[in-house]
């Protein structure tokens, strides 16, 4: 059971150092909470940007090391993109959703639809990179649900509180411009909040209301996280009321045969 909350606090933890391969994200988040003099409480949700999870996992690839396939070359021509990037996108994807000049949207191997397989080229350089080894691509995390569970377990062991963890990314969308936070990993927090059967104040059943809880929590956090490299990759969302859940984040993703747009 989840009940609607009346008040949330959304707090970006400051002073987090630039994340490098092997960093202990749970420890760094706990340090950030300590700096902010915040003790974790039951129902707190820690939102972690996918970018720092990828950095901690060392998901960097130097484009000069990538050899594009013939398929990647053809698709690169069609989409006006670097064939080495297209090769990485294809390797991270299970199907192509849309392609056009300057556009390549795929179904990521993790199950969601995203442009460029979520690969970040804009400012991803590993801290120990030798000069002239880039440009670098940063792939999405390997297994974000598993990582969220590990972070959650560490936070709960350190605090004694029952908490949730969300790993978030910023996605573009069909129909609407601008990016929004979306959940790509969850632990503890139910990704969907099924309110079907709940009744309103007048006793009427609220039909067809299933809220994308994980995505909306990620959207809240996105408003305060800034860009990960600015040092605010951890956001605490306090005030939600939920019963811990082991539901995988994939319950948020429409299956291909349930999606008229994919």
Residues 43-102 that bind a second copy (CB under 8 A): 98, 100
**Residues near 229 by beta carbon (within 8 Å), at least 6 away in sequence:** 18, 51, 123
Residues 126-185 that bind a second copy (CB under 8 A): 170, 173-182
Asked if 1 interacts with a second copy (CB under 8 A), we say no
Q: Which stretch binds a second copy (CB under 8 A): 23-31, 136-144, 153-161, 224-232?
A: 224-232
Nearest of 157, 213, 148, 141 to residue 187 by alpha carbon: 148
Smallest distance from a second copy to CB 139, Å = 18
Asked if 254 interacts with a second copy (CB under 8 A), we say yes
Smallest distance from a second copy to CB 99, Å = 9
Asked if 109 interacts with a second copy (CB under 8 A), we say no
- CB closer to a second copy, 147 vs 168: 168
Nearest of 184, 166, 48 to residue 110 by alpha carbon: 184
Asked if 208 interacts with a second copy (CB under 8 A), we say yes
| Cβ-contact 113, 105 below 8 angstroms | yes
CA atoms within 13 A on the CB side of 174: 11
**What is the Cα 4 distance to its own chain's centre?**
23
**Which H helix or E strand runs over 53?**
helix 50-56
Asked if 193 interacts with a second copy (CB under 8 A), we say yes
Smallest distance from a second copy to CB 126, Å = 13
């Amino acid at each position: 059971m989840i009940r609607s909350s009346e008040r949330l606090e959304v707090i970006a933890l400051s002073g987090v150092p630039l994340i490098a391969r092997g960093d202990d994200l749970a420890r760094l988040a706990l340090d950030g909470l300590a700096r902010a003099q915040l003790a974790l409480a039951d129902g707190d949700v820690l939102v972690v940007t996918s970018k720092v999870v990828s950095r901690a996992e060392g998901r960097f690839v130097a484009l000069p090391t990538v050899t594009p396939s013939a398929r990647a070359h053809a698709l690169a021509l069609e989409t006006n993109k670097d064939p080495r990037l297209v090769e990485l996108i294809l390797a991270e994807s299970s199907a192509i959703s849309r392609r056009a000049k300057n556009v390549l949207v795929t179904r990521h191997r993790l199950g969601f639809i995203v442009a460029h397989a979520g690969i970040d080229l804009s400012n991803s350089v590993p801290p120990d990179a030798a000069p002239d080894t880039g440009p670098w691509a940063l792939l999405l995390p390997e297994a974000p649900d598993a990582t969220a569970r590990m972070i959650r377990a560490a936070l709960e062991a350190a605090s004694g509180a029952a908490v949730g963890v969300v790993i978030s990314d910023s996605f573009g969308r069909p129909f609407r411009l601008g990016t929004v936070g979306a959940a790509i990993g969850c632990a503890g927090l139910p990704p969907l909040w099924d309110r079907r059967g709940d009744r309103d104040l007048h006793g009427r059943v609220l039909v067809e209301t299933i809220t994308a809880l994980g995505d909306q929590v990620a959207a809240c956090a996105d408003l305060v996280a800034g860009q990960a490299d600015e040092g605010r990759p951890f956001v605490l969302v306090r005030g939600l009321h939920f019963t811990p859940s082991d539901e995988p984040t994939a319950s948020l993703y429409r299956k291909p045969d349930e999606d008229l747009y994919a």
